[in-house]
Amino acid sequence: MRVNAYAAPAAGRPLAPTTIERRDVGPNDVLIAIQYAGVCHSDIHTVNGDWGPQPFPVIPGHEIIGTVAEVGAHVTRHRVGDRVGVGCMVNSCGECANCRNGDEQYCLDGTVFTYASPDRDGTRTQGGYSTHIVVDAGFVLSVPDSLDPAAAAPLLCAGITTYAPLRRWGAGPGKKVAVVGLGGLGHMAVKLAHAMGAEVTVLSQSLKKQEDGLRLGADHYHATSDPGTFTALAGRFDLIVNTVSADIDTNAYLGLLTVDGAMVNVGVAPSPMSVNGSLLGSRRVLTGSMVGGIAQTQEMLDFCAEHNIGADIEVISADQINEAYERVLASDVRYRFVIDAATLA
Ligand code: NAP
Ligand code: ZN
């Protein structure tokens, strides 16, 4: 079927309306009528060429919420009318050790990402800034009805990307967790770590968003522009989740960890980093994490429904997308833009 969408025509060029063909619904597919699509900083990195050449035109969007419009003959887990979501991936081999382990995002045969990725049928995937999408049922999540659909869209990337390392590194009662950067991912990390029972500290460039940070669930808030922050908090945190989309002084942040403390990079910095004795001292761990597997994404959605957690969002019409990108780049987002797909119809 032919559907409306917004696409980046070339690297760094403004997004513009277009139409694309979605494949016919195969026996294992679900056709989703999209209601909302979140705007992730990864969309911007991709279309701006930060991550190398892309198969333009690219339709970004991997925080997708909608309702099931049609299912293939073999699909049993989703029914027409169900509220569903799609995150950063739409397929994987299903057979390698990582897929069998529930880590489809690390598929050894190559995860199929939601956009700009070679699909298993040889075509290129196109994402959620669109009215409809066809996705293999195994990569379609059930979204609990109690969640507001627009506020739930960012859970599909910002939510799972922060939930996975918080779980992996044991965020919970008695643990001190720092979140670096209070943007889309950062504000979800604060909400989730707080709901898990951890003591949460925001480390933001300035104190501009302090009131928000405390309202979102942080216990403490510090400005990283103040060098005193790094002396006052030395050796403090069990876990640091770094959501920053720019280069930061990794060694300075490592110095804030306890013995055996871990710093997890989820933000994608442009330059390679160099680490030194700050890693050896106190036996610290520096690691990274990319989104989360399908089963854990479902677990995260159910956790959010149980704790009544959604993103803080600003709903925009599709024609506001280029302005929204500028605002994300200026750290002027509170805290996720979400496209109302009805404005694409
Ligand atoms: P975002 O909303 O723009 O948030 C990033 C935050 O980083 C900003 O709000 C800002 O927070 C801080 N920041 C920005 N520039 C900075 C600078 N020069 N120095 C220090 N801090 C700075 O972006 P997002 O959507 O949350 O995504 C964040 C990063 O995660 C991006 O690189 C994205 O590609 C990546 N990502 C990774 C995964 C994964 O699977 N690992 C998934 C999704 C996204 P303050 O204003 O509070 O300082
Ligand atoms: Zn994302």
pLDDT digits (tens, 9 = 90+) for 270-310: 999 999 888 888 999 999 999 999 999 999 999 999 999 99
Residue 262 has pLDDT above 90, yes or no: yes
Do 86 and 141 touch, CB atoms closer than 8 A? yes
Residue whose CA is at the smallest distance from ligand 1 atom 27: 41
Closest CA to 163 of 177, 144, 149: 177
Ligand 2 centroid distance, CA of 127 (Å): 11
* Torsions phi, psi for 108 (to 5 deg): -70, -20
Which residue owns the Cα nearest ligand 1 atom 8?
Answer: 183
State mean pLDDT over 65-80. 98
Q: Which ligand is nearest to the CA of 243?
A: 1
What are the two backbone dihedrals, phi and then psi, of residue 159, each rounded to the nearest 5 degrees? -70, -55
pLDDT of 174-192, one tens digit each?
A: 999 999 999 999 999 999 9
Ligand nearest to the CA of 209: 1
- Rounded to an integer, what distance in angstroms lies between the CA atom of residue 280 and that of residue 102? 32
Confidence at residue 277, expressed as pLDDT on a 0 to 100 scale = 83
Give helix 184-195 / helix 158-168 axis angle, nearest 10°.
50
| Percent of the chain topping pLDDT 70 | 100
Half-sphere exposure of 134 (CA within 13 A, CB side): 20
User: Is the minimum distance from the CB of 179 to ligand 1 under 6 angstroms?
Assistant: no
What phi and psi, each to the nearest 5 degrees, are found at residue 315?
Answer: -80, 135
Q: How far apart are CA 105 and CA 295, in angstroms?
A: 11
pLDDT tens sequence across 305-318: 999 999 999 999 99
Kindly give the number of the ligand 1 atom that is closest to the alpha carbon of 45.
34
Q: Quick one: pLDDT at residue 153?
A: 98
Compute the C-alpha angle 301/341/133, nearest 5°: 70
Ligand lying nearest the CA atom of residue 157: 2
Judge whether residue 261 has pLDDT over 90.
yes
Q: Write out pLDDT tens, residues 233-257.
A: 999 999 999 999 999 999 999 999 9
Tokens at 138, concatenated: 């195994």
Residue 189 Cβ inside 6 Å of ligand 1? The answer reads no
Give the ligand at the shortest distance from the Cα of 244: 1
> Which residue is associated with the tokens 């979102």?
216
Determine whether the shortest distance from the Cβ of 250 to ligand 1 is under 6 A.
no
Distance of CA 74 to the CA centre of its chain: 30
Structure token digits, residue 160: 């799972």
C-alpha 40 to ligand 2 mean position (Å) = 4
* Residue 45 zone, left/alpha/beta (φ > 0; ψ -120 to 50; rest): alpha
Domains of the chain (ranges; CATH) run 2-157+292-344 (3.90.180.10), 159-288 (3.40.50.720)
- Decide whether any atom of ligand 1 lies within 6 Å of the 42 Cβ: yes
Per-residue model confidence (pLDDT) at position 75: 98
Interval between CA 201 and ligand 2 midpoint (Å): 23
Q: Print the SS3 string covering the chain.
A: CEEEEEEECCCCCCCEEEEEECCCCCCCEEEEEEEEEECCHHHHHHHCCCCCCCCCCECCCCCEEEEEEEECCCCCCCCCCCEEEECCEEECCCCCHHHHCCCHHHCCCCCEECCCCECCCCCECCCCCECEEEEEHHHCEECCCCCCHHHHHHHHCHHHHHHHHHHHCCCCCCCEEEEECCCHHHHHHHHHHHHCCCEEEEEECCCCCHHHHHHHCCCEEEECCCCHHHHHCCCCEEEEEECCCCCCCHHHHHCCEEEEEEEEECCCCCCCCCCCHHHHHHHCEEEECCCCCHHHHHHHHHHHHHCCCCCCEEEECHHHHHHHHHHHHCCCCCCEEEEEHHHHC
183 lines ligand 1 (CB under 6 A): yes
pLDDT for the residue numbered 276 = 83
| pLDDT at res. 187 | 98
Ligand 1, atom 30, lies closest to the CA of 267
Cα-to-centroid distance, 282 and ligand 2 (Å): 32
For residue 277, report the distance from its CA to the centre of ligand 2, in Å. Answer: 32
Assess whether the C-beta atom of 245 lies below 6 angstroms from ligand 1.
yes
What's the confidence (pLDDT) of residue 182?
98
